[in-house]
Amino acid sequence: MPQVTLTVNGKQHTVEVEGRTLLVELLREKLGLTGTHIGCDTSQCGACVVHVDGISVKSCTQLALQADGATITTIEGLAAADGTLHPMQEMFREHHALQCGFCTPGMVMTAIDLVESHPAGLSEKEIREGLEGNLCRCTGYHNIVKAIAAAHPLMHAKAAE
Amino acid sequence: MYDFTYEKPSSLADAVKALSGDMDAKALAGGQTFIPVLKQRLNKPSTVVDLSKLGLSGITVAGDKIVIGAMTRHADVASNPDIQAKIPGLAYLASMIGDEAVRHRGTIGGSLANNDPAACYPSAILALGGTIKTDRRSIAADDFFQGMFTTALEQGEIITSIELPIPQKSAYEKFRNPASRYAIVGVFVAKHASGVRLAITGAGQGGVFRHTEMEKALSANFSPDAISGIVTPADGLNGDIHASAEYRAHLIGVVSKRAVAKAA
């Protein structure tokens, strides 16, 4: 069986997979990182978004073997070792940007890439467009947009330190 | 998904060999269409040949042309300053494909090789009069698109880059399906020194096509008014649950005028 070696949340793993194994299946079933969710399984909903080499991708639409040698960050890799939440997680909590929470891991991962790739600032329109590939059936998005807008200055102030 | 053998060759020659020797082998570019197709078991490849290690990505300006590597991601086309300045219609088109995460993976070469009748890129390449470079030859856009999901590519032939002449003006407008974000009707218009080319995606039963009547009118007068009297017949257009052929025919007129207004 083919093997894939990748770094997930700072830890290197070598895992046996099938050709058809999806990255999300590797994360959830082989590594037990079930924070990354499978929602639609048709590349629409974004519940499975993780960062591959710092870029947000849908892990249900990438083969595990394509990620050989890659550095992956999942929702489990965001908080500090002492449990301090990432500023984006903290703002989601602060602004009540979730209800059932199913879409939240993907929302947070998409939101972090969005903020990181727009250091100069993000308009409300840009945030809403940036969330196009993430579906939420509870919140109506309004508080998610607020949380991301609030996280932007926190994340860039932290990066500048 | 059915299982398959996965290969990630590090040379173009090895990739061509892997795809040519086996009729059931399939190339994998960004996978944003292909992996969903595999999940639905609509395709059962023996081997999937990943093209990501062939060094086929990148964007360069070469005189009066822009050359885009086949594995260049949509997000990189959308954000490239040279493309934004010289072919703004193309940068906009790339920025409107799928969503952020899909644009981080999907590639221009993959889109062209698949030739989905509702994909955006084929309209740009056809209207810009681009050339598709492969491991073995150059194919003019006019010869490349040969009908729904059908191209001039041979078994095992791999797109390496796309060469696009820089037009005087360009624009893309899409009337999109709100769920899938694919074009119900998409129009790319390009004004070249030699005349105007206008290509329509999403509407034709045979995939992307040029609207020669509009091109003629726009070559004489590049303004939305020049095409406001042109009626497109519904014959040969797609009709489905999203839009009837008659509605698509109507949209071709509306969306074309928007594209010209944007470019002019």
Q: What DSSP string describes B37-81?
A: HHHTTS---SEEEE-TTS----EEEETTEEEEETT-BHHHHHH-H
Residue A158, pLDDT above cutoff 80: no
Report, at the CATH architecture level, how domain A87-160 is classified: Orthogonal Bundle (1.10)
Residue A160 confidence (pLDDT) above 80: no
User: Distances in Å between the alpha carbon of B160 and those of B26, B130, B137, B146?
Assistant: 16, 13, 10, 19
**B2 and A CB contact within 8 Å:** yes
pLDDT of A145 higher than 80: yes
Q: Which of B140, B115, B87, B260 is nearest to B201 (CA)?
A: B115
Please determine, for residue B88, whether its predicted confidence score (pLDDT) is greater than 80: yes
Give start-end residues of each CATH 3.30.390.50 domain in chain B: 169-263
Tell me the nearest-neighbour CA distance from B26 into chain A, angstroms: 13
A6 near B CB under 8 A: no
Tell me: the pLDDT tens digits for A13-50? Answer: 999 999 999 999 999 999 999 999 999 989 999 999 99
Tell me: domain A3-77, CATH 3.40.50.300, correct?
no
CB-nearest partner of B36 from A43, A49, A65? A43
Which of B26, B54, B76, B99 is the best residue to mutate to test the A interface, defined by the most A CB atoms within 10 Å of its own CB?
B99
Spatial separation of the C-alpha atoms in residues A122 and A144, rounded to whole Å: 14
If you average pLDDT over residues B21-32, what whole number do you get? Answer: 96
Provide mean pLDDT across the span B256-264.
97
The rounded percent of chain B whose pLDDT value lies above 70 is 100
Domain spanning B169-263 has what CATH number? 3.30.390.50
How do residues B153-189 score in pLDDT, each as one tens digit? 999 999 999 999 999 999 999 999 988 889 999 999 9
CATH architecture assignment, domain B1-54 = 2-Layer Sandwich (3.30)
DSSP class of residue B106 equals -
Mean pLDDT across A116-135: 96
Which part of chain A has CATH 1.10.150.120? 87-160
At A127 the pLDDT is 98
Contacts of B104 in chain A (CB under 8 A): 55-57
Query: Looking at the complex, does the CB of residue A113 fall below 8 Å from at least one CB of chain B?
Result: yes
At A144, the pLDDT band (50, 70, 90 cuts) reads very high
Whether the predicted pLDDT of B90 surpasses 90? yes
CA distance B79 to B105: 14
Query: What is the rounded average pLDDT of the residues B233-260?
Result: 97
Confidence class for position B68, pLDDT limits 50, 70, 90: very high
* Average pLDDT over every residue of B115-135: 97
Do the Cβ atoms of B105 and A114 come within 8 Å? no
Q: Which of A40, A50, A58 to mutate to test the interface with B (most CBs of B within 10 A)?
A: A58
B35/A42 touch (CB, cutoff 8 Å), yes or no: no
For residue A1, pLDDT over 90 is answered with no
In which element (H, E) is residue B259 found? helix B245-263
Please report the pLDDT score of residue A128 as a whole number.
97
